Amino acid sequence: MKSISEELNLNNQKILLRLDLNVPLIDDKITDTTRIDKILPTLKFLISQNTKIIIISHVGRPKGQVVNELSLRPICDDLEMKLSQNIKLISKGIKEITSKDLFNNDHEKIVVLENIRFYPEEEKNNPKFAKHLASLADIYVNDAFSCSHRAHASIDEITNFLPCYSGLQLDLEVGALKKITSEIKKPITCIIGGSKVSTKINIIKNLIPKFDNIIIVGGMANNIIKYMGNQIGKSLKEENCDPIIKEIISLSETENCKIIYPQDAVVGKNLNGSPQTKELSEISSDEMILDIGPKTIGIIKNIIDKSNTILWNGPAGYFENPSFANGSIEIAKKIIENKKSNKIYSVIGGGDTVSLLNSLNVVNDFNFVSTAGGAFLEYLEGKELPGIKALN
Ligand code: 3PG
Ligand code: MG
């Protein structure tokens, strides 16, 4: 893997830069800009080297269709403001444009291609699509560590068609994770939450042999709560998870890894509903689980006290509504308390988790903060990520 920061002959080169600008958006407003802010040094470096930059990113999961709410427009506006220069968003016909169509004059330095996941070819890792994207530039740079677990056209296949490099933020993330995994101190506790159940549930199995405790909270825990014979009403869940949960439980016994899941819950009638603490056996059919309850918080704090390393990915509840943020806040407070007294090493990952900690103004109170969620967990599994492999 060669870093773009080591390449000094970039004058006038067209750079195809894959970023992860998948930031949380509500009504076209960015609610957390961490992922944008972290890649500014890369953009500033490329600008200082007098390059032309073509940015590729996705937002959300539009599944190969144009979804207006998932436009990169708000992100483009934020970048324009932060870099004090005009940035053109190319919304139409990405499959038809040629390199000549991108920059009209010498003053234009940066263009952004509209959400790459509007094109089904992206997630299919389509070679023809990748080759076309490559034809727009001279050099490819991957600065999207948090997408590098996806074998998609703009991350994987594209590297077959251009000289390719890693970006500054990807270098930082991989460097830090390498160090963490080689120097990690036991007992290790991994807290996994969030709503992307399908992405994460399979990963847990592979993490069991590596860790002492795995605490499952958030949307994923609902499947376990149900598996244990409770009603979960309208809660978020993934279909057909029972076989994998069974496997997780039996593997945890043979590997001596404790699996912890919620013992009580805070429920609401909907995402904006008012909170009510309940025993797992009391959840009714019109309620949804939106946070962990006080009993569960106590159990988790106890385990954090007995750990030397904490890896945390994914919030414990629907923190976007303050009524359901308490579980995540209590976990954050406990980790920070133990880190301050030098009892633990703490690593946080994932877009939502970082956004939560930013809203509490505590991101700097952890040892390392990764922008990556799924990619971070897959890295911990010991897997070589497709996007990193492609750069090597
Ligand atoms: C993320 O937020 O995890 C990355 O942007 C990747 O998105 P994905 O999980 O939809 O592939
Ligand atoms: Mg993800």
Cβ distance 225 to 280 under 8 Å?
yes
- Tell how far the Cα of 375 is from the centroid of ligand 2, in angstroms: 7
User: What ligand has the least distance to the C-alpha of 352?
Assistant: 1
Q: Which residues contact ligand 1 via a Cβ below 6 A?
A: 20, 22, 61, 146-147, 150, 196, 199, 351, 373-374
User: What ligand has the least distance to the C-alpha of 371?
Assistant: 1
- Tell how far the Cα of 375 is from the centroid of ligand 1, in angstroms: 8
Which residue's CA is the closest to the ligand 1 atom numbered 7? 147
At 199, the pLDDT band (50, 70, 90 cuts) reads confident
- Tell how far the Cα of 11 is from the centroid of ligand 2, in angstroms: 35
Among the listed residues 304, 114, 38, 305, the one whose alpha carbon sits nearest the alpha carbon of residue 190? 304
**pLDDT at residue 339, rounded to an integer:** 95
pTM of the model: 0.88
- pLDDT (average), residues 354-371: 91
**pLDDT at residue 307, rounded to an integer:** 97
pLDDT in tens, 57-88: 999 999 999 999 999 999 999 999 999 999 99
- Tell how far the Cα of 80 is from the centroid of ligand 2, in angstroms: 26
The vertex-42 CA angle with 156 and 66, nearest 5°, equals 50
At 196, the pLDDT band (50, 70, 90 cuts) reads confident
Beta bridge partners, 30, equal 25
Cβ distance 347 to 110 under 8 Å?
no
User: What ligand has the least distance to the C-alpha of 145?
Assistant: 1
